[in-house]
Structure 1
Amino acid sequence: MSGFSEFIAFAVTARHGSFARAARELGITASTVAKRILRLEERLGVRLFHRTTRQVTLTSDGEMLYARCEKVLADIDDIESLASGTSGEPRGQLRINMPITYGKRVVMPKLARLLAQHPGLELDVRLSDSFCDLIRDGIDAAIRVGALDDTRLTARRIDWQHLVLCGSPAYLRRQGMPTHADQLEAHHFVVFRNPTSGRERPVQLQVDGKTQELHPETRVVINDGEGMVEAARHDAGLTQVPRVMAEDAIANGSLVEVLPACAPPPQPISLIWPGNRLLPARMRLLIETLAGLG
């Protein structure tokens, strides 16, 4: 295919945001990478990168091309993996997107053991509480919490998320320990702002067998779960977070669980991946590894 090496140089540079890092991955010089991209820009008649002395960033035309290139290159990589034999040693890079705290505390230990057992694997982990578009961004797999509505994706449940409502002992001594959901209206709250939608997440409760949402007057709004835990530990108010975020603080007594009988039903945590992709050995291994989390 004419100019295929130019597209590869472009895609790798876009992924790293650097001619030098792209050159190291491709085993060529940075000047060769730059020349290939320049030839591609001249042939297409568009500028693909904004260039400065420190970095290169994609133009709007570059972003559209990069999304297509990553999908094509990922498909080629999948075909190569399958052609090498389905029973062969898993190799190549896995690009994974996952929530920050759950990813660090629960998933990363599993992935680290996976790397130790399979030296041919590489990981590109994106920790973020914002949703990404797997197909547009060239992501192999992502971990999502809650219901899934993208029909382009295949999902497998790997765990459950349990929410816990809690506050510090000093705050609860000052404001009083709630014994019924109706008493929560008198309390201050530290709530989560969804970084994708910008909306505040309501407090979820289960009362008399029915799930309810409470939209309290908030004292602190934070877009990071661990930050919410820290604010609550320092007496800023009640907060509701996934149990994995608060379990250490509850265990050491710096947070106290509130109204455990009103905890909402757990939400599924799923591993998702593009449904129209061939599954190379490394993806099958990832699915098998994470399937046992819950």
Structure 2
Amino acid sequence: MDRLATLDLFIRIVDRGSFSAAAAACGVSRPVATAAIKALESRLGTRLLQRSTRHVQPTLEGVAYYHRCVEILADLEEADRGASGAVAGVLRVDVVGYLARTTILPALPDFLAQHPALTVHLGEGERFVDLVREGVDCVVRAGALADSDMVVRHLGVMEEVTVASPDYLARHGTPTTPDALEGHQMIGFVSSRTHHPLPLEFTRGDEVIEVTLPARLLVNGADTSAAAARLGLGLVQAPRYRFAEDLARGTLVEVLADFPPTPTPLSVLYPSNRQLSPRVRVFVDWLVKTIGPGLHPGE
């Protein structure tokens, strides 16, 4: 392996804590990766990595060398961009699936046309992602965010609605206030952080009211929650864009419109402990300019 490829391999080993995962990401075999790192350590005259049967972690010298390698490769990528005017490589992004399909994907052709040397790997997920260890460049997430060492760029807020199917409302009645929810049930959306169903949320002026209803179905996927609502299994809350077609067709009906849930913030996150690469920078800037205004077109 040449020196730049070896530096890239070393960074990936530290990020993922694994020779095998890093070798696969670089498209080389584990023995080739092992030999390259041994040769690097021999040339430098110092041990960079501590190996165990389950994990690999950098030595103190390895940590210092890692940060310099990250800076060097980022500077090289920036220099290449300055010389060619192009952003190149693979950008790995993780987005909630429905948001990816309805909001990001329709606008993506223009972004790809602007950057013909860039490939976007668009992953779909709602779970917490360890960006560094999993080799993901940035994630787009909805909701309040737990404290972390990620850099957060705010994209906007999404209007939330409460919906149910006509069949459900025919059986349980249509509530007119949050106080009239006795006898109703919800589709329990289980939080990935607390592992408990999230309560329904309503606003009355400046007051936020949380209501936990009986739930005969618990889910941890937004698509499943929406499908269950169409089948009449309970009340559900989600961003309005998710139910726009259902509301237009009448397969779902908005209820308690005078007591809407609080809006949900949407953000893009990327690691703070690494120099921001040009491909991540252009994508994040594009998200802020292109996706953000579409979330609240009335502003």
TM-score computed with the length of structure 2 as normaliser: 0.76
Equivalence for 2:123: 126
CA RMSD of aligned residues (A): 3.6
Q: What stretches of structure 1 of length at least 5 have no aligned partner?
A: 49-58
Equivalence for 2:78: 82
Which whole-Å CA distance do the structure 1 matches of 2:194 and 2:179 have between them? 28
| Structure 1 residue 117 displacement after superposition | 3.0
| Structure 1 residue 268 displacement after superposition | 1.7
Equivalence for 1:46: 51
| Structure 1 residue 39 displacement after superposition | 8.4
Pair 1:191 & 2:222 matched = no
Identity %: 28
Contact 1:74 1:138 in 2 (8 A): no
Inter-CA distance 229–208: structure 2 relative to 1 (3 Å threshold): same
Inter-CA distance 74–229: structure 2 relative to 1 (3 Å threshold): farther
Amino acid of the residue matched to residue 51 of structure 2? V
Q: What are the superposed Cα offsets for residues 34-92 of structure 1, whole Å, 9 maximum, x if unpaired?
A: 7658989xx867356xxxxxxxxxx3x04x56xx8997765443221222355821112
Q: What are the superposed Cα offsets for residues 81-107 of structure 1, whole Å, 9 maximum, x if unpaired?
A: 222355821112222222222123212
| Structure 1 residue 281 displacement after superposition | 2.7
Contact 1:169 1:255 in 2 (8 A): yes
Pair 1:204 & 2:201 matched = yes
Which whole-Å CA distance do the structure 2 matches of 1:110 and 1:20 have between them? 31
Contact 1:191 1:240 in 2 (8 A): no
Q: What are the superposed Cα offsets for residues 91-149 of structure 1, whole Å, 9 maximum, x if unpaired?
A: 12222222222123212333343223312112233321112233454432221223345
Give the secondary structure class of the aligned counterpart of 1:186: coil
Pair 1:258 & 2:255 matched = yes
Inter-CA distance 86–259: structure 2 relative to 1 (3 Å threshold): farther
Inter-CA distance 72–243: structure 2 relative to 1 (3 Å threshold): farther
Amino acid of the residue matched to residue 284 of structure 2? I
| Structure 1 residue 164 displacement after superposition | 1.3
| Structure 1 residue 197 displacement after superposition | 3.3
Q: What stretches of structure 2 of length at least 5 have no aligned partner?
A: 41-46, 294-299
Amino acid of the residue matched to residue 218 of structure 1? A
Inter-CA distance 197–120: structure 2 relative to 1 (3 Å threshold): farther
Contact 1:70 1:137 in 2 (8 A): no
Amino acid of the residue matched to residue 133 of structure 1? D
| Structure 1 residue 253 displacement after superposition | 1.1
Which whole-Å CA distance do the structure 1 matches of 2:24 and 2:79 have between them? 31
Inter-CA distance 19–288: structure 2 relative to 1 (3 Å threshold): closer
Contact 2:19 2:30 in 1 (8 A): no
Q: What are the superposed Cα offsets for residues 149-173 of structure 1, whole Å, 9 maximum, x if unpaired?
A: 5363322221312221111111111
Contact 1:189 1:218 in 2 (8 A): yes
Contact 1:16 1:22 in 2 (8 A): no
Residue of 244, 247, 254 corresponding to 1:247: 244
- 1:54-93 superposed matches below 5 A: 59=54, 61-62=55-56, 64=57, 75-86=71-82, 88-93=85-90
- 1:1-294 superposed matches below 5 A: 8-9=8-9, 11=12, 22-23=26-27, 32=32, 36=36, 46=51, 59=54, 61-62=55-56, 64=57, 75-86=71-82, 88-150=85-147, 152-291=149-288, 292-293=290-291, 294=293
Amino acid of the residue matched to residue 221 of structure 1? L
Inter-CA distance 267–172: structure 2 relative to 1 (3 Å threshold): same
Contact 2:94 2:124 in 1 (8 A): yes
Give the secondary structure class of the aligned counterpart of 1:218: coil
Which whole-Å CA distance do the structure 2 matches of 1:84 and 1:143 have between them? 27
Report how many residues are paired: 275
